[in-house]
Structure 1
Amino acid sequence: MDSSAVKEWLFGKTLPELEAVAAALGMPRFAAGQIAGWIYARRVTDIAAMTNLSLRNRERLSERYCVGLLPVADVQQSSDGTKKYLFPTLQQRYIESAYIPDKDRATLCVSSQSGCRMGCRFCMTARQGFAHNLTSGEILNQIRTIPESGKLTNVVYMGMGEPLDNLESVLNSIEILTAPWGYGWSPSRITLSTIGVIPAMREFLNRSAAHLAVSLHDPIPSERLAMMPVEGKYPIGQVVAELKRHDFSHQRRVSFEYIVFAGINDSPAHVTALVRLLSGLKCRINLIRFHAIPDAPMQGADEATMIRMRDALARKGIITTIRASRGEDIQAACGLLSTREQEKQAE
């Protein structure tokens, strides 16, 4: 059996967690920094390669730990260069990541959970239900093991699951991405997308400098509730009110994701409600084309509607863009690949 399935991973541990490992094994505290350097900067996959640790300390580590990492299980490539990667999890489930190259940018959209408990009506992942949270190692594994890992310019926590429903693992993974003892990224390369879990969102804003994107999709509470059950617990008006209490400088951005559904959330009344809701908050809106999922009752709006909404919002002073549709031929924006794999394994 692969040791990564039975031994605890070092990969995905923060420096304080590695210090605790070193202390428990009777190793000097500075050994934690050495281990972090081997795992994150030098990208080793075997404890035996950590040659500035004594042989005895490497043996102690190997008795209980492995570096970790799980290989890609499958990949689909779109005609536009987008790739959807399938990964196994440590609990015999599957998750997805989407790699999106675009001129001088290369973005990876990572998952934070297997399945999701939020129940959004337009989301394929929601149909899986919630299986389990990913560890910080499983989150970072998506970034570390794809062939394009060294080319990445940006990471977005916008894959399967609600990142703020797995707050500590997500924050630990961001710490590893941004810390000088980790990968040393600027927080401006990282965006977290949430449907608005207010207590965890507050924690994220206080403990991280990464960008925030809020899945809004409808500014009218009754309509939003019909497609997003979270509206009943954390109304979008309260989400925006919380955001207005925080300082968003030029280094940190807050944006709102808005999937445009034909005949549902695309009228002038919705534009008016959006402007009223977001008044006084420095932000931008990303209008998104809907990638249809099997048996979904919703349809995406046409191009003319997208342009009309963008222009109407821009005239009201809200920076608004239409996100380019990527990977539609491989359904890169949904959990279909992992759903099919899990169904296949259950047969």
Structure 2
Amino acid sequence: MERKKLLGMTLDELKAVATEVGLPSYASKQIAEWVYGKHVRSIEEMTNLSKKGRTALAEHYEIGCVPPSDIQQSIDGTAKYLFPTESGQLVECVFIPDGERATLCVSSQAGCRMGCRFCMTGRQGFGGNLSVTDILNQVYSVPGSELLTNIVFMGQGEPLDNLDAVLKATQLLT
């Protein structure tokens, strides 16, 4: 049985998860803090949940963070990360350090269906919209994500063509 991803769930969705696995509803805030605030990689790290609660949660859910499958590093510190998506596609995001600032360009789609002639992503075709989990995974799985000062949707895809997922990801990031 494939476990569902906690990454990408709102507080209301996490309340339903908590109730489903027998945790009190207030545990949803604790889960959200572990996933979005502390960026844990496993449910076992959620030490303010009971052992029984963590076991029940882990039976049906996982965090949802997947490490990059490839990293290309530039001498100036810029790094391009290749991430697998839930659907099996590969997408890129780029970390750009600039003095006191650090920007992450995230993808919202695998490829792009706009077909702009000047864009290499458009030439590769459209592989599908990314899920909220796929979008957030780029942010939470990049080493040094706590240093980010800017996140821009300028990776692969047209963000407005996947508006619901982009808006939900933005809501969860802020």
Which residue does the alignment assign to 1:101?
97
Identity of aligned residues (%): 55
CA RMSD of aligned residues (A): 1.6
Counterpart of 1:91 (choices 87, 95, 111) is: 87
- Mapping of residues 111-150 of structure 1, within 5 Å: 111-150=107-146
Deviation at 1:129, TM superposition (A): 1.6
Q: Distance between the aligned counterparts of 1:162 and 1:38, measured in 2?
A: 30
Deviation at 1:158, TM superposition (A): 0.8
Paired AA for residue 143 in structure 2: P
- 5+ unaligned residues in a row in structure 2: which ranges? none
Counterpart of 1:47 (choices 43, 48, 51) is: 43
Which residue does the alignment assign to 1:15?
11
Deviation at 1:35, TM superposition (A): 0.5
Deviation at 1:97, TM superposition (A): 0.7
CA 104–135 in structure 1, closer or farther in 2 if over 3 Å, else same? same
Q: Distance between the aligned counterparts of 1:59 and 1:75, measured in 2?
A: 33
Deviation at 1:56, TM superposition (A): 2.5
Q: Distance between the aligned counterparts of 1:109 and 1:155, measured in 2?
A: 6
Deviation at 1:153, TM superposition (A): 0.8
Give the SS at the match of 1:166: helix
> TM-score under structure 2 normalisation?
0.92
Deviation at 1:51, TM superposition (A): 2.1
State the structure with bigger RCO (CA 8 A, min sep 6), 1 or 2.
Answer: 2
Deviation by residue 1:324-345 (Cα, 9 ceiling, x = unmatched) = xxxxxxxxxxxxxxxxxxxxxx
Give the SS at the match of 1:19: helix
Which residue does the alignment assign to 1:309?
none
Which residue does the alignment assign to 2:154?
158
Paired AA for residue 62 in structure 1: A
Give the SS at the match of 1:39: helix
Q: Distance between the aligned counterparts of 2:70 and 2:135, measured in 1?
A: 17
Q: Distance between the aligned counterparts of 2:46 and 2:80, measured in 1?
A: 33
Q: Distance between the aligned counterparts of 2:154 and 2:117, measured in 1?
A: 17
Deviation by residue 1:161-206 (Cα, 9 ceiling, x = unmatched) = 111221221111111111xxxxxxxxxxxxxxxxxxxxxxxxxxxx
Which residue does the alignment assign to 1:69?
65
- 5+ unaligned residues in a row in structure 1: which ranges? 179-347
**4+ residue stretches of structure 1 with deviation over 3 A?**
none
Question: Number of paired residues?
Answer: 174
Q: Distance between the aligned counterparts of 1:57 and 1:168, measured in 2?
A: 31
Deviation by residue 1:231-279 (Cα, 9 ceiling, x = unmatched) = xxxxxxxxxxxxxxxxxxxxxxxxxxxxxxxxxxxxxxxxxxxxxxxxx
Q: Distance between the aligned counterparts of 2:4 and 2:150, measured in 1?
A: 28
Deviation at 1:25, TM superposition (A): 2.9
Larger Rg: 1
Deviation at 1:123, TM superposition (A): 1.1
